[in-house]
């Protein structure tokens, strides 16, 4: 339905988005995951028509949106800080979009027919029920809690039956328990209404919970596009793996067909693509689920020197550095592994890990 093509945008003369392309199909929830300041919100505002890219295209149902002003696009928008109208009560906030539609369709400038008024009333009631806020019509915006305000914002965006819903960090201002609640509510509503949605967040848990598809935005580019499962099992690049905080990413140098020299030792691996000699590769080290587990494919033993040990309830978090090389090619932040028993600081330990090739 929505297609974004080759989008470029600068912010204060620095490139913000560099060639973004993706599409959202019917009933699909696409989640855009990126750090704050990565241009996610700008991207949303451009889709809404509130800002303009330097170059690139937006198509909806194959129709270019360049000439469509925001109020005709029918794209709903939900902000992090709600953006509710403080001068209107809850009813009139939710009814706002509907009223605009009626004004647009009415030939007369003034008022609406009785029938339209009744329709408006029932639609608002229906929307408030959908977000579990029945009976809130006459309340003031400022009297509601953050979670309630966000649900009103959701009802307001849903009321005029938008062709696309966009969420800009909708749960960013809420605390944890409210977050989970509302996230599930949004998920249910999106599934029920089948409205395609773009959900922008920097919170990985949120993204993986709600998304049908995840786009990772890094340095102005989409570095990974796939279902949550695909993205998690195969991040495909070092920066994606780092962004998702998947574990230890280390660099190594290819020394022969399938041998890589790294700080934790020389590893054997079978990458999909062939690497030439002396090429640098990034590897993702995933600790095996059970430290003593046997027969897991691709599992190798690495050597580490313990630098710090932290007690974490049922296990120990161990910070360590590769012990195979000295000085060169040592990873920046060190490695973090989890052990049942606490090693001594300075001790050399051997740990079994799975090694994955990152492009």
Partner 1 sequence: MQTNSLNHGDTETRRNFFLRAFASPWFFHVLLWLAPILFLLSYFFLPLSKILILAFNTSALTKANFQLILPIVSFTFYQAALSTILTFILGIPSAILFSRFNFRGKPLLRALTAVPFMLPTVVVASSFNALFGNHGLFSFMQSISSSFILHPSSFSLILTAHVFYNTTIVIRIVGNALSRLDPKLEQSARSLGADTFHVWKNVTLPLLRPSLLAAALLVFMFDFTSFGVILLLGGSNFSTLEVEIYLRVLKLPNLPLAALLSIVQLIFTLIFSILYTRIISQVTAQTNPRFSASRPPKTPRERAFVFTLYALLITFFLLPLASLPIRSLTRLEADRGQRGEVQYGFTTDYYEELFINRRGSLFYVPPIQAARNSLGYASLTVLLSLALGYPAAYALAKPTRLEKFLDPLVMMPLGASAVMLGLGFIFSFGRALASPFFVPIAHTLVALPFVIRTLQPALASIPERLRQAAATLGASPFRVWQTVDFPILSRATLSAATFAFTVSLGEFGATLLLTRPEYPTIPIAIQRFLSQPGGLNFGQAMAMATLLMLLATLAILVIEKLRLSDSGEF
- Residues of this chain that bind partner 1 (CB under 8 A): 45, 48-50, 69-77, 79, 81, 83-87, 96-97, 100-101, 103-104, 153, 156-157, 160
Q: How far is the CB of 21 from partner 1 (least distance, A)?
A: 23
Q: How far apart are CA 60 and CA 111, in angstroms?
A: 32
- Residue nearer to partner 1 on the CB measure, 54 or 279: 54
Per-residue CA distances from 307 to 204, 317, 336 (Å): 29, 11, 10
Q: How far is the CB of 170 from partner 1 (least distance, A)?
A: 12
- Residue nearer to partner 1 on the CB measure, 19 or 83: 83
- Residue nearer to partner 1 on the CB measure, 73 or 275: 73
Token pair in block for residue 19? 């060639």
Q: How far is the CB of 53 from partner 1 (least distance, A)?
A: 13
Q: What are phi and psi of 356, to 5 degrees?
A: -120, 145
Q: What are phi and psi of 248, to 5 degrees?
A: -95, 120
Q: How far is the CB of 200 from partner 1 (least distance, A)?
A: 14
Q: How far is the CB of 233 from partner 1 (least distance, A)?
A: 36
Give Rg (Cα) of the chain: 25
- Residue nearer to partner 1 on the CB measure, 51 or 221: 51
Token pair in block for residue 196? 């395609």
Nearest alpha-carbon partner for 61 in 74, 52, 71: 74
Q: How far is the CB of 2 from partner 1 (least distance, A)?
A: 14
Q: How far is the CB of 79 from partner 1 (least distance, A)?
A: 5
- Residue nearer to partner 1 on the CB measure, 163 or 321: 163
Per-residue CA distances from 275 to 155, 196, 238, 267, 357 (Å): 53, 41, 16, 14, 11
Q: How far is the CB of 130 from partner 1 (least distance, A)?
A: 17
- Residue nearer to partner 1 on the CB measure, 81 or 180: 81
Q: In whole angstroms, what separates CA 196 from the centre of its chain? A: 16
Q: How far is the CB of 110 from partner 1 (least distance, A)?
A: 13
Q: How far apart are CA 167 and CA 30, in angstroms?
A: 10
152 exposed, middle or buried (CB, 10 Å; 0-12, 13-18, 19+)? buried
- Residue nearer to partner 1 on the CB measure, 100 or 359: 100
- Residue nearer to partner 1 on the CB measure, 40 or 73: 73
Count the residues in the chain.
359
- Residue nearer to partner 1 on the CB measure, 33 or 164: 164
Token pair in block for residue 111? 């008022």
Q: Where are the beta strands (DSSP E) in the chain?
A: 2-11, 14-24, 29-34, 55-60, 63-64, 75-78, 164-168, 197-201, 213-218, 221-226, 248-256, 259-262, 265-268, 280-287, 299-312, 315-322, 335-339, 348-358
Burial 196-208 (b: 16+ CB within 10 A, else e): bbbbbbbebebbb
């Amino acid at each position: 339905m929505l297609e974004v093509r080759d989008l470029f945008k600068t912010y204060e003369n620095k490139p913000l988005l560099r060639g973004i392309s993706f599409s959202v199909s019917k009933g699909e929830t696409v989640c855009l995951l990126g750090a704050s300041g990565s241009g996610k919100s700008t991207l949303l505002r451009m889709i809404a028509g509130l800002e303009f890219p330097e170059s690139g295209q937006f198509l909806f149902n194959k129709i270019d949106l360049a000439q469509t002003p925001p109020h005709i696009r029918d794209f709903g928008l939900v902000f992090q800080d709600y953006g509710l109208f403080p001068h209107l009560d809850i009813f009139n906030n939710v009814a706002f979009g509907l009223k605009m539609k009626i004004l647009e369709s009415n030939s007369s400038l003034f008022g609406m027919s009785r029938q339209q008024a009744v329709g408006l009333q029932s639609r608002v009631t229906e929307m408030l029920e959908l977000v579990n806020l029945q009976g809130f019509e006459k309340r003031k915006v400022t009297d509601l809690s953050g979670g309630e305000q966000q649900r009103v914002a959701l009802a307001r965006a849903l009321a005029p039956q938008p062709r696309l819903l966009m969420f800009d960090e909708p749960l960013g201002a809420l605390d944890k328990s409210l977050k989970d609640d509302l996230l599930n509510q949004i998920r249910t509503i999106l599934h029920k209404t089948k409205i395609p949605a773009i959900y922008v967040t920097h919170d990985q848990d949120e993204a993986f919970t709600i998304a049908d598809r995840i786009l990772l935005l890094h340095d102005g580019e989409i570095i990974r596009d796939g279902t949550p499962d695909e993205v998690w099992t195969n991040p495909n690049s070092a920066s994606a793996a780092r962004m998702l905080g998947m574990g230890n990413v280390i660099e190594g140098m290819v020394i022969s067909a399938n041998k890589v020299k790294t700080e934790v030792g020389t590893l054997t691996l079978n990458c999909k693509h062939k690497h030439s000699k002396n090429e640098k590769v990034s590897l993702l080290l995933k600790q095996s689920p059970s430290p003593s587990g046997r027969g897991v494919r691709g599992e190798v033993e690495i050597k580490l020197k313990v630098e710090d040990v932290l007690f974490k309830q049922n296990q120990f978090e161990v910070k360590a550095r590769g012990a195979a090389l000295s000085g060169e090619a040592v990873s920046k932040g060190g490695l973090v592994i989890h052990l049942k028993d606490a090693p001594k600081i300075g001790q050399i330990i051997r740990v079994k890990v799975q090694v994955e090739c990152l492009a």
